[in-house]
Amino acid sequence: MGDISISGELDRLKSESLAQIASAGSMDDVEKLRVFLLGRKGEITSRLKTLSSLSQEERPAAGAALNAVKNSIEEALSERASSMKKKEVTERLEREEFDVTLPGRPVGDGGFHPIGAVMDELIGIFQELGFSVVEGPEIETDEYNFQMLNFPDDHPARDMQDTFYVQNGARLLRTHTSPVQIHAMLKRKPPLSVIAPGRVYRCDSDITHSPVFHQLEGFHIAKDVNFGHLKGILELFIHRLYGKNTKLRFRPSFFPFTEPSAEVDVSCQICSGKGCRVCKGSGWLEILGAGMIDPNVLKAVGYDSEKWTGFAFGMGIERVAMLKYGIDDIRLLYENDIKFISQF
């Protein structure tokens, strides 16, 4: 390269490059010049590679001069590109015709998904009743999901919940939100009132079941808690959710972690309890399960079952939403059909 600082070669390269950039007639021309001058095999890049052939004394001055030319070219390319973009926009506006008197296109208001809306409503009701909200992991161990909830290894109740196992069976996708209750009990001392909303997973799928669905479970532990307290809380909750004219009934049932246990039905929201296709003519629809917490569960978390008693309840959010909005197929809640969702 010789003495690049005084050879005039860089001055010639700079002036020629700036002239070519100034005469570029389109963005495509600007891009071609950028590649020709600054690309991997460009004029500036090739000259930068020759700096290593200069002596130690020549390199600093030559490098500084070459960088100055490079910066000038980059600045010119940027300014020309900006100018060409503005020119293209201006020309497009001149070619196209706009009728500014036309009304704008309306943008529809967003809304809540029925599952989210019902979940928020349920949480709000129980928070007003003094319950705190706790969340937990969706990937659980058998200990938290079954054993500490009074599900022995050979317990037939395990067959009631088809489980997704992961990590070669070492862990599982929680089948209910009850494990969150165990986590909460281990971290807190009674008295306490907690609800645990969240997603749960089971190997099941038809018009009334989904492999992924949502639950809200809750429990209250204090001294001298009895089944009457449970009935009072659930009656207040149901009346807040569906109205004061809604009737309740409790049917004996079985859950491993509560004893005694009950399933709670409400008068059909479609026919007001008169009997219809949705309630199969009975006038009743199941809404949730509940019961008094089994002493074995209290002992598993270190609570004195002689001193503390409590009740627990759980419900599927999809079931509540289907009853509330008269939806007859659970799969509609997951298909993301805008026409369906916009109804809510």
CATH number, domain containing residue 245: 3.30.930.10
Number of Cβ atoms within 10 Å of the Cβ of 311 = 23
Question: Higher confidence at residue 21 or residue 311?
Answer: 311
pLDDT, position 207: 55
Provide the number of structural domains found in the chain.
2
Which residue, of 61, 95, 129, is where some domain finishes?
Answer: 95
What percent of the chain stands above pLDDT 90? 35
Say yes or no: 162 and 200 in one domain: yes
Q: What is the largest CA-CA distance in the chain?
A: 102
The separation between CA 74 and the C-alpha centre of its own chain, rounded to angstroms, equals 44
**pLDDT of 217 strictly over 80:** yes
- CA–CA separation, 263 vs 249, rounded Å? 8
pLDDT digits (tens, 9 = 90+) for 67-81: 888 888 888 888 888
| Residue whose C-alpha is closest to residue 301's, from 261, 238, 265, 257 | 257
pLDDT 10s digits, 247-295:
899 999 998 899 999 999 988 877 777 877 767 888 888 889 999 999 9
Distance of alpha carbon 54 from alpha carbon 58, whole angstroms: 6
Comparing 210 with 255, the larger pLDDT belongs to: 255
Read off the pLDDT of residues 55-111 as tens digits, 9 standing for 90 and up.
777 778 777 887 888 888 888 888 888 888 888 888 887 887 777 788 888 887 777
pLDDT for 5? 45
Which of 113, 322, 334 minimizes the C-alpha distance to 210?
Answer: 334
- Tell me the sheet residues that pair with 316: 215
Q: Are 337 and 119 in contact (CB under 8 A)?
A: no
pLDDT at 34: 84
User: Which of 19-33, 154-168, 191-205, 251-265 is least confident?
Assistant: 154-168
Query: Half-sphere exposure (CA, 13 Å, Cβ side) for 237?
Result: 28
Tell me the mean pLDDT in the region 149-155: 81
Average pLDDT, the chain: 85
Say whether pLDDT at 2 is over 50: no
| Domain stops at, among 95, 129, 148 | 95
Residues 133 and 267 in one domain: yes
Q: Which of 138-142, 149-153, 267-271 has the lowest mean pLDDT?
A: 267-271
Question: Would you say residue 230 has pLDDT above 90?
Answer: yes
Average pLDDT over residues 162-191: 88
For residue 46, what are the domain limits? Answer: 9-95
Q: Do 52 and 191 lie in a common domain?
A: no
Query: Band of the pLDDT at 6, cuts 50, 70, 90?
Result: very low
Q: Are residues 139 and 280 in the same domain?
A: yes
**CA quadruple 334, 335, 338, 340: dihedral positive or negative?**
negative
Residue 153: pLDDT band by 50, 70, 90 thresholds?
Answer: confident
pTM above 0.75, yes or no: no
Q: Is 328 inside any structural domain?
A: yes
pLDDT at 7 over 60: no
Both 68 and 149 in one domain: the answer is no
Q: Per the domain annotation, does 107 fall within a domain?
A: no
Q: Are residues 90 and 120 in the same domain?
A: no
More confident residue, 164 or 133: 133
Mean per-residue pLDDT for 171-188? 91
The yes-or-no verdict on residue 114 having pLDDT over 70 is yes
Give 207-210 contacts, CB < 8 A, sequence gap 24+: 207/328, 207/329, 207/330, 207/331, 208/329, 208/330, 209/330, 210/318, 210/330, 210/331, 210/333, 210/334
Does residue 184 belong to any structural domain of this protein? yes
Give the model's pLDDT for residue 165: 85
